[in-house]
Amino acid sequence: MKKSVKTKLALLLTLILTVPAIAKADWGGWYDGNTSNTWYGDTYQAGIPVNGIGRYGYQPENDSFYCFLESSSNPKSQDFFSIEDSIWGKPVTKLLYLIMAADDPFYAVSSKGFYVPDSVTDLDSLVFRWADFQNVYLSKALTKIPKCAFIECENVKQLQLPDKLKRIDEKAFAYCTNLKQIKIPEKVTIIEKKAFENCKNLTKIYLPVSVTKIEKNAFKGCDKLTIYCEKDSYAYKYAKKNKIKTKLLSNKTVKATQITNLPKSITVGTHESYLLFPFIEPFYATNQKLAYISDDPSIAEVNQNGKVDGKKKGTTTITVMTTDGSHLQEKVKVTVNQGKTSINPYFSLYQLLKGTTEFNVDAMLYNRNEKATYQIESNNSAIATAKIVDGTLKVTAKKTGNAIFTVNELNGKNKIEIGSFPISVESK
């Protein structure tokens, strides 16, 4: 199985924000707790960059943060992406789409899945346009799927929508050409025009009695579609009027008969994550909620949304169970390996003043090898130099200008380049 990679935002962001610089240093790009401004130190849009995938910004009107997504200029295939649920104790409540050039698809990075935490209450229109992921966990707090949110997400085959959802907006799932089945939650009242336009492989959709309005061409081009609904409901009458096949269901509780879409085993690194995306059959089962239990949380934790976090090297088992009284369960073997040493993707030094500044090495290195030593080189020693002494990174800024530091890991006779990061020395 393909090895999973580091989740984009989790433990490390907390680590960095809690390791202070000592005198004369400015953590450019990091939120400083001052709610009078947003992120600083970044000349291209306000916000902290996350390896070219997204940035965060402060919303003073509701004392929260948003995350906006963007194309990567150097896309790298990842297994899973996740965004943080809070920054400095303030919730991340909105996920935005950053419009790029017409010939530059927004989400160029492919992945198996995307995790939108339950803190998010609002999605922007077009938020996942062209995304290559196969699965997505959507926040339980969402009440609508906005216009064109999933348009042209061609790899998505099945989705579980949040129970609080009340509406599905125009073209929300248009051109999801591999979407095969979906259950519309019991509180949805309206499906806007062209919501599922040209979902040519959509064969099954469950429409509850709460749906009282389906706008024009909502299922245009869905030639294989069967609508699962109750007799005499609005959905049933709509299907008959538009000559769409139906399968009638009673209003009785439908229990799960199978848990699907789970791997038998997964591998994850320490401080890395893996996202489980199980589904219940039949797809229209009344209670879709699942429970997750880790046999040994000290090795791998799992939250109740299926997000697995590697803690330490070892092997354990995660059990996934139905909660509707059907007593079904599946087990997933989890192997946690030591993660690879790398430069923390959120570590960068901006606007250093002249003099020596000290930083904790753990703020710079991800999964640092305690048995190795590390060497740091400057491409312009006239501007700044750095060295690592007893777990401390000491940066000496000499004159105004920019430099790049390269970090190497020395382990016996082996020398491995870990990565590099820029600095900027300011006059004041």
Q: Which of 315, 314, 303, 318 is nearest to 263 (CA)?
A: 318
Rounded Cα–Cα distance for residues 94 and 125 (Å): 11
Supply 152's token pair. 């042209």
Counting DSSP H helices and E strands in the chain, the numbers are 3, 35
At the second CATH level, the architecture of 258-337 is Sandwich (2.60)
Rounded Cα–Cα distance for residues 225 and 245 (Å): 7
The answer to whether the beta carbons of residues 341 and 370 sit under 8 Å apart is: no
What's the whole-model pTM score? 0.74
DSSP-derived 3-state class of residue 130: coil
pLDDT at 16: 30
The answer to whether the beta carbons of residues 73 and 57 sit under 8 Å apart is: no
Q: Which of 198, 199, 151, 144 is nearest to 171 (CA)?
A: 151
In this prediction, what percent of the chain has a pLDDT beyond 70? 79
Rounded Cα–Cα distance for residues 189 and 208 (Å): 9
Task: At 235, give phi and psi (nearest 5°).
Answer: -60, -40
Mean pLDDT of 30-41: 32
Task: At 411, give phi and psi (nearest 5°).
Answer: -135, 95
Mean pLDDT of 9-27: 28
Rounded Cα–Cα distance for residues 173 and 158 (Å): 11
Task: Give the pLDDT confidence of 211-244 residue by residue, as tens digits.
Answer: 999 999 999 999 999 999 999 999 999 999 999 9
Distances in Å between the Cα of 284 and the Cα atoms of 123, 166, 206 are 25, 17, 6
Q: Which of 153, 152, 103, 94 is nearest to 124 (CA)?
A: 94
What's the residue count for the chain? 428
Task: Give the pLDDT confidence of 383-406 residue by residue, as tens digits.
Answer: 999 998 888 888 899 998 888 888
Q: Which of 342, 364, 353 is nearest to 425 (CA)?
A: 353
Contact residues for 232 (Cβ-Cβ < 8 A; gap 6+): none
Question: First CA to last CA across the chain, in angstroms?
Answer: 51
Pairing of strands 273-275, 300-302: unpaired
DSSP-derived 3-state class of residue 237: helix
389 or 156: which carries more pLDDT confidence? 156
Supply 417's token pair. 């380049």
Same CATH topology for 258-337 and 350-426: the answer is yes
Task: At 99, give phi and psi (nearest 5°).
Answer: -65, 130
Domain boundaries, the chain: 258-337, 350-426
The answer to whether the beta carbons of residues 299 and 266 sit under 8 Å apart is: no
Q: How confident is the model at residue 257 (pLDDT cuts 50, 70, 90)?
A: very high
The answer to whether the beta carbons of residues 10 and 309 sit under 8 Å apart is: yes
Rounded Cα–Cα distance for residues 372 and 97 (Å): 41
Give me the DSSP letters along 405-420. Answer: EEEEEEETTEEEEEEE
Domain 350-426, classified CATH 3.40.50.980, yes or no:
no
Tokens 């995304």 found at: 131
Mean pLDDT of 120-146: 92
Task: Give the pLDDT confidence of 49-88 residue by residue, as tens digits.
Answer: 333 345 677 788 888 888 876 544 334 445 777 777 887 6
Q: What is the mean pLDDT of the chain?
A: 81
Q: How many CB atoms within 10 Å of residue 18?
A: 10
Over 70: is that where the pLDDT of 149 sits?
yes
The answer to whether the beta carbons of residues 231 and 207 sit under 8 Å apart is: no
Contact residues for 423 (Cβ-Cβ < 8 A; gap 6+): 348, 349, 350, 352, 384, 395, 397, 402, 403, 404, 405
